[in-house]
Amino acid sequence: MSALWDLPAPERAPEGAPNAAGLGRAALKALAASFGEPAFRGDQLFEGIYAKGWMEWSAFTHLPKKLRERLQAEVRLAWPRITQSLASEDHSTKHGFELEDGKQVEGVHMPYKDRTTLCLSSQVGCAMACTFCATGQMGILRNLSAAEIVGQVMAMLAHHGRPVGSDGEPDPLNLVFMGMGEPLHNLDHVMAAFAILTDPKGLALSPKRITVSTSGLVSGIERMGAFARRPRLALSLNATTDEYRSRIMPVNKAWDMEALAAALGAFPVQSGERITLEYVLLKGVTDSLEDGRRLAAYAKRFPSKVNLIPFNPHEGSGYEAPAEARIQELCRILIQEGVIVSVRRSRGQDVAGACGQLVKEGQGRPR
């Protein structure tokens, strides 16, 4: 039978009908029960939608014909619609997704030699107002539902297909919540989506391959740490003093760097796990050699690794990326201090799909 990534874009079901796409196992069991069907029908729906990638009720041939016909007439199976796809020279693709209320978000598909990474949005816009991030200048419109988050994954797999390695098995799929929005502002829906995406009877993604990036919501960090199964954690740090961090990231006025360090130190990392410190390098603002030494000292306070991210320019930001020589100097400082460090060369810069560049024009307004 055709899988999701082999099928053309499906036609939308009649407006007003409930949508099964993006629902979790419990919700699909409830849907089956509302039709007078046993609970195991919900499991069959779940596996067909996620493990098989079926996009038409007619593909669910293991269901009774009458049930398929009723689903066809009364329930939609529609993912967020891709309205724009911009391919980068580095082979990544920025996608615009139209949601059912007409609002739009963006995500990025990034293929590598041995894996594929999808960058997901968790909100329409963002409330954090970080000065170096285009999304932050939109303001916040609303949270995404778990179904809309999962829908980005399924829609990108439908568009690109899922690469298969030489062993015939699908290549590893990584998900990063580093698109539009602050994921910990929408933690309930993010974790509901996480449960669907990691369900062994569905896409069966490893929790270790899903990363949630926060601007520093201590309350959200504490809540996420209480989940027995959870994604990996990344912190968008971006400065080494409270003075400068508060200038570029207003969240620091609520939870300063000491409060963050305490929360990260208490976060229940598993064996071999490290918290990722993302550090955007802004020329003349956060890239001094003293910044490098302070960053190293901060990183050593809890299990961590550092991603240095040269600034990705966008109109009106007023910032620049530092010279390559300065980036290498900062790397040397961190390495000498025993800190694991990498430089993240963001994908999709030429199509405004890189870190901090995602923004939908005409939605929201600068805050």
For the annotated catalytic residues, the residue numbers are 106, 355
Q: Confirm if 19 and 40 have CB atoms less than 8 A apart.
A: no
For 237-290, strand residue ranges (E) read 275-281
**What gap in Å lies between CA 48 and CA 186, rounded to an integer?**
28
Return the axis-axis angle of helices 187-198 and 218-225, rounded to nearest 10°: 30
Nearest one of 335, 275, 283, 290 to 309, comparing CA atoms:
283
335-340's contacts with Cβ under 8 Å and 24+ in sequence apart are 337/293, 337/296, 337/297, 337/300, 338/300, 339/295, 339/296, 339/299, 339/300, 339/304, 339/305, 339/306, 340/274, 340/304, 340/305, 340/306
Q: Which two tokens stand for residue 149?
A: 């988050």
- Interatomic CA distance for residues 157 and 99, integer angstroms: 17
Question: Given the structure tokens 């598993």, which residue do they identify?
Answer: 270
Distance CA 340, CA 331 (A): 9
Q: Which residue has the tokens 């609970």?
A: 39
CB-based contact 97:153 (threshold 8 Å): no
